[in-house]
Amino acid sequence: MPYFPKSRIIENQKANPGEMQTSLGKEYTGPYYITFDGKIFSGANPYSPASKPLVRTLLNKNENESNISPDLNNDTYNSLKTSNLAQLIDPTPFNPKPTPEDYKKGKITRYFARQRNGTQFKIMEISQTSYDNLSNNRGGLNSSLWKVISIFWQISGPLRDVKVNNIRTRAGIIDTNQRVLNNAEKNFIGLKQYLSDLRQFSR
């Protein structure tokens, strides 16, 4: 298996029943990873033994596809699958507007979507409604193309952690949001770069 730097792959993804199949058409469930050029392979990362190429399916996700006969040849099946994909839409960008109540609480929840394939791993901020629709495969959004995440985002308080005797007594905006992004980046590559302003929305 060729070497890929970690910045060029998405590791430790999970294929549920009906989402993936091998090049021979056999259903695959379990871990997989995506390379920078959009190719998908079985295994948690490029070092997984017996890693094999995979392709996405939309079985059990679309009522129309549930009626596709298993006797159809691959060309017919792929044509029908492409037709169903064309009916799905991408999420639209969203810009959160914290309320006075949010500032009293000191935090908001933010939602993001990232393309599962491609060389850039495009990221956009989305609304909670779009997040829920993508998470639950509804609303006509293309959940096979977009992966989602929600994160806590601190918007009020001190800029830096307040410590007494080296013990944090009050969480700071910058330090807290940095910790959140460090953890989210493990499974959502590119979010740290996208959210470069750790003080965004802060007061």
Q: Which of 7-16, 78-87, 140-149 reaches the highest mean pLDDT?
A: 140-149
143/110 Cα distance (integer angstroms): 18
Q: What is the pLDDT of residues 170-189, one digit of tens each?
A: 999 999 999 999 999 998 98
Query: What is the residue whose two structure tokens read 């392709």?
Result: 55
Q: What is the pLDDT of residues 90-123, one digit of tens each?
A: 899 999 999 999 999 999 999 999 988 755 678 9
Tokens of 79: 């044509």
58/81 Cα distance (integer angstroms): 7
Instruction: List, in sequence order, the alpha helices (H) in 47-140.
Output: 74-86, 100-105, 128-135
